[in-house]
Amino acid sequence: MRKPRIAIFTGNYNHIRDGVSNTLNRLVAHLEKRGYTVLVFGPWVPEPAMTHEGTFVPVYSIPAPGRTEYRITMGFPLTEKQRLRDFNPDLIHIATPDLLGYRALRFAMKNDIPVVSSYHTRFSSYLKYYGIGYLERPLWKYLHWFYQNCKHLYVPSPSAIQELRSEGVKCELKLWTRGVDTSLFNPGQRDDAWRKSLGFTENDLVVVFVSRLVWEKNLEMVEKVFTSIRKSKPDVRTMVVGDGPAREALGDRLPDTVFTGYLIGRNLARAYASGDIFFFPSDTESFGNVTLEAMSSGLPAVVAKAAGNVSLVEQGTNGYLVDATDQNAFTSSLLEIINSSEMRNKMATMSRKKAQSYEWERIMDQLISYYDELIPDSSRSGDTV
C-alpha cells in the first residue's frame, strides 16, 4: 500500500505571505505528515517572502502590470510539464484558475486524472478596484467552464457556497473551512508593556485592522472610519498591522494611527490580543482568516458583510456585519461596542468560544477524505499507474 501522489497548482505559494499561501503550505505539511507525496507548482521569485513546505517546482512568471508584487505565470513550460508526467499524480488540485491552472486542468482532462479546485479569492470583487468591473461577466463565464470540469470545488464557508450557487457554478461544492491555532491566538497574549511601547495608555481602547496593505482591502474605508472614530472619541486609538504597497499613502492619511508593520507568529498574536476591537471592511476574501484569528484572540469583530465573514460573525453576539460601502454603519457599530464595556466583554467571550470550534487538524483531515473519494483503490498499491 502507498499513499497517493497529489500535485498542487497555485498562483502564490511563497512569493507573498497571505491567507492563500499560508493555507496551502499548512495543507502540504499536513498531507506529508499523513504520508502523502506532494508536488507544488507555482510562480518563482528570487527572494520569496516565506520558507515553503514540501517540494516546490518553480514556474516562470512575470510581474503583474502595475502591481509588481503579484506574479503572472505565462503558461506551463515543457520542462515543468515533464516533471508532472514523471510524478504521475493520482489527483491534481488547482488553487488558482489562472493560465497555469488552465494548463493544469487541460493536462488532467487529457490524461484522465481527477482534478479538484479550491475557492480562495472572490476574484470578481477585485475588478472594481482596478477599474475593470466590466470584465465581471466574462470572468464568471470562464470560471463556470473551469469549475464545471473539476470533480470537486472546495469552498471555505456555507455563505460562499450559496454565493457560487447563485452565480450558477455547476460542480460538486464541498465545504473546506479554515482553521486557527487557538493556542497561539488567544487573549493571554495581551501585552501591556508592548502597548505602552507603542504609545497607548492603560485606559486606551484600541481598534485594530490587520491586513496586507493593498487598496483592494477597502483601505479607503479604513481611512474614513478611523478618522471618524478619532473625531468622535479622542481617547480611542487605532492600529494597523501589516505592510504592502499602500503603506506609505495610508500612513500619510492616518497620522494618528499606529502602524506596526508586518508581523507573524507570536508577534502577530500579541498584536491582536493587545487590541480591544477588530475592524475589517474588506469584502474580497472568500474566508475571513484574519477575522478568525482576531476572534480567537478574544476581540469583538466589526467586519464587512461578505462571504468570508458571515459564517464567523453572529450579528450582535460577537460583533457586527456591515455593508462594505456603509461608512456610517461601520462607525456606529464600532461606537456601540466602544461605549459599552459590558457588550465588549460579552462579545469577546463569544468570539473566543466560536473560534475554538475551528481546529486545523480536523479541517485538513476533512479535505483528505474528499481526495480519497476520487482516488481509485488501484492507485494505492504498486509503484506507478
- Statement to judge: residues 337 and 364 lie in one domain: no
CA-based nearest residue to 307, from 88, 146, 159: 159
Residue 18 banded pLDDT, cuts 50, 70, 90: confident
Residues 151 and 227 in one domain: no
47 with 138, same domain: the answer is yes
Give every CB contact of residue 233 below 8 A, 6+ residues apart in sequence.
Answer: 205, 335, 338
β partners of residue 38: 6
Residue 289 has a pLDDT of 87
Beta strands (DSSP E) in 230-273 are 236-241, 258-261
Alpha-carbon gap, residue 297 to 354, rounded angstroms: 11
Q: Measure the CA–CA gap between 163 and 159, rounded to whole angstroms.
A: 6
Structural domain for 138, as ranges? 5-179+360-380
Question: Could you tell me if 328 and 272 lie in one domain?
Answer: yes
Whether residues 247 and 143 share a domain: the answer is: no
pLDDT tens by residue, 276-290: 999 999 988 767 889
pLDDT at 384 over 50: no
Task: Tell whether 385 is covered by a domain.
Answer: no
Q: Share the mean pLDDT of the chain.
A: 91
236-287 pLDDT per residue, tens: 999 999 999 999 999 999 999 999 999 999 999 999 999 999 999 998 876 7
7 by Cβ neighbours in 10 Å (0-12 / 13-18 / 19+) ranks as buried
Tell me if 251 is assigned to some domain: yes
pLDDT at 194 over 90: yes
List, for residues 293-312, the tens digit of each pLDDT value: 999 999 999 999 987 788 89
Does 125 map to a domain? yes
Place of cell 488532467: 108
